Chains A and B, each alone.
Chain A
Amino acid sequence: MSLSNLDVQKVALLARLAMNEAEIADARIQLSGIFDLIAEMQAVDTRNITPMSHAQDVCQRLREDKVTSSDQRELFQSISPQAEAGLYLVPQVIE
């Protein structure tokens, strides 16, 4: 399968990855090769097969709705790129 530069550009936008033109051209070649490999599975007849989303067919557990850990805001914010007064700081998005 061959992807276009525009396809790659769209995917980069969705994935929030800044890419310049040279990187897009490189990615197009490598991704096309990978999608050629992936295309092998298209020939398989999978009608009436239930998709397998997980290794074990078990139900998700339910648990009691109770507090299990204490507030660790200071500890967790101590490793953030920018925090102030208990808030994570990011560039302004609302005028």
Chain B
Amino acid sequence: MLNSSLAQLGTALRTKKISSVELTQLYLDRIAALNPSLNAFITTNPEFSLKQARAADELLSNGKEQNLTGIPVAQKDIFCAKGWRTSCGSKMLENFIAPYDAHVIEQFNNAGAVNLGKTNMDEFAMGSSNETSYFGAVKNPWDLNTVPGGSSGGSAAAVAARMCAASTGTDTGGSIRQPASLCGISGIKPTYGTVSRYGMIAFASSLDQAGPMARSAEDLALLLNVMTGFDERDSTSLQRDKENYTRDLIKPLNGLRIGLPKEFFAEGLSNDVAECVSTAIAEYKKLGATIVDISLPNSKLSVPVYYVLAPAEASSNLSRYDGVRYGYRAPEYSDLADMYEKTRAQGFGAEVKRRIMIGTYVLSHGYYDAYYLQAQKIRRLIAQDFSEAFKQCDVIMGPTSPSTAFNLGEKDNDPVQMYLSDIHTIAVNLAGLPGMSIPCGFDHNKRPVGLQIIGNYFAEAQMLNVAHQYQQVTDSHNHAPQNLGL
């Protein structure tokens, strides 16, 4: 049951081979057994989850179910879920009980899915290794000495270790794709504006986008059907007709043009990753695709541009944490200014403070043009590179991450090295394009390698088709970490 696809689980539930209560309990037991070593979940609430499962069983027995009814899904702890602690991986929100549901949570609730718990993450989604969480690092299920990636590291580890049927993540600079890659699972960040940000704790609002994480492209399509949709409470939510993302899954790939940007295969890429990606590209040729060499000349600037824009937006978004209306307040202070300063100094971790300071600096008087405005201009150049590229190809492929999972503690004292681990994912966020990562093999240490697929705006159905066809003829996505009782 733990290795079943979402479609198989749906069938098992409809044909009464298993009830949602039994399935939910199966996952809850697995979380109880594995979480002490993996730390993938921050909060579980078995009573709440089982109540939702009972309601789902009711829908199933009345024939009122939808595709995901009764299926246990883990939610990244960045989504407010009414009555649930929603910590965003921070001491600042350690005791914050969300008073309302995020749009994403509402969508899953309306579909009859079960909220299995809240997954661990880098504090306020700022990190690439899940080591900045106030609740401790998540361990990669493939090798407990390595990181799962971040910031959606708990969600990725939970799917890889079969602690949930699927999970949600958010991606500001690679936070769905990079952990998906490092944990050997599939994840998609849709086009900016496709999934509502309402109730999703803000990091960098012009870049933040939620998406699903699961074991296959087929599962992702079913999850995306639930998560997307216009929501007037998010001012950047796009008014588009609802799509069925499974519609193109079975299309053959004859004639597909795959663009390979030379910049994605430059120095810094590990040999094992390069080899796995090349093997995957060869597989695509067998499926009928043609290869086009392309260039994204400004993509090398995406890391510096991102580390101006994202911290600038973050410093503004995180100004709300002042110890007045909700969240942590310092126990001792002399006056109002002292209360703000101590609350924020004690409530935020080192990486969050670092980014607030970068953002404050680049937005401060006299530096705005040199940093913020310059970064916004280069952002346009980066986006234009992609539009030029998509004149020659249908999808772009390359590595998701320049290396496989690195060791815990290896980069956590060197922010610049950590930032560079997102070099292949960040440009996609700056342009607002959809991007995904699917497993495409293993390195010599048996650590998973991810293939990144980038599509044009609103090309999610096509990307899922491209990923699904690959997963029909290869089996990297079916591998599970050893020694976890699978």
**Contact status of A55 and B326, CB under 8 A, knowing A41-B301, A60-B235:** no
Cβ-based interface call for B341 (8 A) = yes
> A27: which B residues are within 8 A, CB to CB?
353-354, 357
Does residue A38 face the partner (Cβ distance < 8 Å to B)? yes
Contact status A56-B378, CB under 8 Å: no
Residue of B nearest to A60 (CB): B235
Say which residue of A37, A46, A79 sits within 8 Å of B374 (CB atoms). Answer: A46
**Chain A residues numbered 53-78 whose CB sits less than 8 Å from any CB in chain B:** 53-56, 58, 60-61, 63, 72, 75-76, 78
A53, closest chain B residue (CB):
B376
Q: Which of B235, B326, B337, B457 contacts A16 (CB 8 A)?
A: B337
Q: Are B415 and A81 in contact (CB under 8 A)?
A: no
| Minimum CB–CB distance for A93 against chain B, Å | 5
Knowing A19-B345, A52-B379, A55-B432 touch, does A81 contact B329 (C-beta < 8 A)?
Answer: yes
Residues of B within 8 A of A31 (CB): 354, 357-358, 361
Contact, CB under 8 Å: B377 / A80: no
Most interface-central of B235, B345, B354, B357 (chain A CB within 10 A): B357
> Which of A37, A60, A75, A81 contacts B419, CB < 8 Å?
A37
Q: Does B265 contact A (CB under 8 A)?
A: no
B342 & A90 in contact (Cβ 8 Å cutoff) = no
- Those of A79-95 within 8 Å (CB) of chain B: 79-82, 88, 90-91, 93
Q: Evaluate contact between B415 and A33: CB separation under 8 angstroms.
A: yes
Contact of A54 among B236, B301, B307, B345 (CB under 8 A): B236
Q: How far is the CB of B435 from chain A (nearest CB, A)?
A: 12
Task: Point out the residue from B207, B300, B339 that lies within 8 Å of A90, measured CB to CB.
Answer: B339
| Assembly CA distance A69 to B235 (angstroms) | 16
Q: Within 8 Å of chain A (Cβ to Cβ): is B375?
A: yes
B354 near A50: Cβ-Cβ < 8 Å: no
Q: List, in ascending order, chain B residues with CB within 8 A of A22's CB.
A: none
Within 8 A of B (CB), among A1-45: 7-8, 11-12, 14-19, 27, 30-31, 33-42, 44
Closest residue of A by beta carbon distance from B357: A11
| Segment 404-423 of B: residues with Cβ below 8 Å from A | 415-416, 419
Q: Which residues of B contact A16 (CB under 8 A)?
A: 319, 322, 337, 340-341, 344
Q: Quick one: given A17-B345, A55-B206, A61-B235, are A49 and B324 in contact (CB under 8 Å)?
A: no
Q: Report the bound CA distance from A34 to B358 in whole Å.
A: 9
Q: Does residue B99 face the partner (Cβ distance < 8 Å to A)?
A: yes
Interface flags, B345-385, vs A, CB<8A=1, else 0: 10010000110111011101000001101111111110100
A60 and B378 alpha carbons, distance in the complex (Å): 23
Q: Given A37-B419, A50-B380, are A55 and B304 neighbors across the interface (CB < 8 Å)?
A: no
B238: Cβ under 8 A from any A Cβ: yes
Is there an interface contact between A91 and B336, defined as CB atoms closer than 8 Å?
A: yes
Query: Could you tell me the distance between the alpha carbons of A76 and B206 in the complex, rounded to whole angstroms?
Result: 27
**Contact status A88-B325, CB under 8 Å:** yes
How many Å from the CB of B403 to the closest CB on chain A? 18
B308 within 8 A of A: yes
Query: In the complex the two chains form, is B378's CB within 8 Å of A17's CB?
Result: no
Q: Which of B336, B344, B378, B383 contacts A41 (CB 8 A)?
A: B378
For B324, give its contact among A14, A40, A81 (CB under 8 Å).
Answer: A81
Given contacts A30-B354, A76-B325, A79-B326, contact A42 B377 (CB under 8 A): no
Q: Which residues of chain B are near A75, meaning CB under 8 Å?
A: 99
User: Could you say which of B301, B333, B377 contacts A91, with CB atoms under 8 Å apart?
Assistant: B333
> Smallest distance from the beta carbon of A94 to chain B beta carbons, Å?
10
The answer to whether the Cβ of B431 comes within 8 Å of any Cβ in the partner chain is yes
* Complex interface: chain A residues within 8 A of B322 (CB): 16
B303 lies within 8 A of chain A by Cβ = yes
Contacts of A63 in B (CB 8 A): 232
Determine which residue in B232, B378, B429, B431 has the highest number of CB atoms from chain A within 10 A of its CB, and name it.
Answer: B378
Evaluate whether A52 and B193 lie within 8 angstroms (CB atoms) in the complex, with A34-B307, A37-B304, A79-B326 already known: no
- Residues of chain A with a CB closer than 8 A to B96's CB: 79
Report chain B residues within 8 Å CB of A42: 370, 374
Which B residues lie within 8 Å of A12 (CB)?
357
Any chain A CB within 8 A of the CB of B176?
Answer: no
Residue of A nearest to B303 (CB): A37
Tell me, in angstroms, the Cα distance from A44 to B302 when the chains sit together: 12
**Interface pair B357/A8, CB less than 8 Å apart:** yes
The reply to whether A38 and B232 contact each other, CB–CB distance below 8 Å, is: no
Q: Give CA–CA (A60, B419) in the complex, Å.
A: 32
* 11 A-B pairs with C-beta separation under 8 A: A15-B357, A16-B344, A40-B301, A40-B304, A46-B381, A49-B377, A55-B431, A56-B238, A88-B324, A91-B333, A91-B339
Interface residue ranges, A against B (CB under 8 Å): 7-8, 11-12, 14-19, 27, 30-31, 33-42, 44, 46, 49-56, 58, 60-61, 63, 72, 75-76, 78-82, 88, 90-91, 93
Excluding A55-B430, A90-B339, 6 further A-B contacts by CB distance (< 8 Å) are A18-B345, A31-B354, A51-B379, A52-B377, A76-B99, A90-B336
Give the top 8 A-B pairs by smallest Cβ distance, nearest first.
Answer: A55-B432, A51-B376, A81-B329, A55-B192, A52-B380, A46-B377, A18-B341, A18-B345
